[in-house]
Structure 1
Amino acid sequence: MPDANVWALTLEFVRLGLVSFGGTNIAEIERVLVGEHHWITPTTLANGFALGQLMPGPNMLAVTYYGYAARGVEGALAATVAFYGPTALLSAAAALAWRRFSTHPWLVAFRDALLPFGAGVLLAGVLVLGQSSVHSWAGAGVAAASFVILWRSRINSVWVVLGAALLGALLGL
């Protein structure tokens, strides 16, 4: 793995934070961190995403893990502040604007237009994680079972993740 320049890392995470919508931008994160810069491996990406699902708070705390993998503690701090700082400021400004203009037809249309986009980005993320994580029929079965359980039940996702991890360990996945 090439050592990430801290400034390049910071700028990349600012950009990723500004174009991210929750964990749905995993495909772009994979393209940049794994494919373009080679700062992390596909396995590191999948492990970080899984870890982010278990951590309290935003699931994209995985960016801290990615920064650490790319450049140690300095990279972890840079990635976290760069990913969340600018978007926190923009979110505060957007919340104020939303509060004032939320009933205007153009804003309602804009929000409705983002819904199909969000679904597409989520599907791209599923493909990226599937390609880097599912390498056998047993793994595909665990992934499919996890999906069905989360879709059809009210079980907390933490229990599903832990159960899938235990099952994967028992199956040697």
Structure 2
Amino acid sequence: MRRLALPFLVLVPLSGCGLATDLTSAAAGVAAGTATANPALGFGIAVGTRAAVQAGLNWAVRVRARGEQDAVAEAIGRLAPGETLAWRSEHTIPFGDEEGEARLVREMVTPLATCREALFSIAEGEGAERTQEWFLTTACRQKGGDGERWKWAAAEPATARWGSLQ
């Protein structure tokens, strides 16, 4: 039995969050089906549990992405033309914290909004092994009840106005 379990245990980390969703829903479905002796109810509970767990994971990913985007947008807002500034995003759970640089490319001022187009990098590795990948984005100045700030302007998945369409 242990010989059969070993390959499974080696593969578990490769499945990531998908396994958590599937195992949780399967456990809930089996428990409900066993407790009620109704397989249809067990299946329904498994499907509902899977949807709820997946929604929770998606929410967590969006919150983390928004934190990273806000850190980049804040750095872009502080830049002068041609200047480079370091940015860093730190999460409550210190896993997947990102850092890099932002460089202002141009500023676009219109009657509707002031936006800035910038290059930003995401750095990986340490010391001589450190690499950076560069991307282009736009951040716009947002004025609201809590003051003025710069926000990520790309539609995917940054803006709250898209709601569940993200």
Same fold (TM over 0.5): no
- When Rg is computed on C-alpha atoms for both structures, the one with the higher figure is 2
Q: TM-score, normalised by structure 2?
A: 0.24
Larger proportion of strand: 2
Higher relative contact order (CA 8 A, sep 6+): 1
Q: TM-score, normalised by structure 1?
A: 0.23
Larger proportion of helix: 1
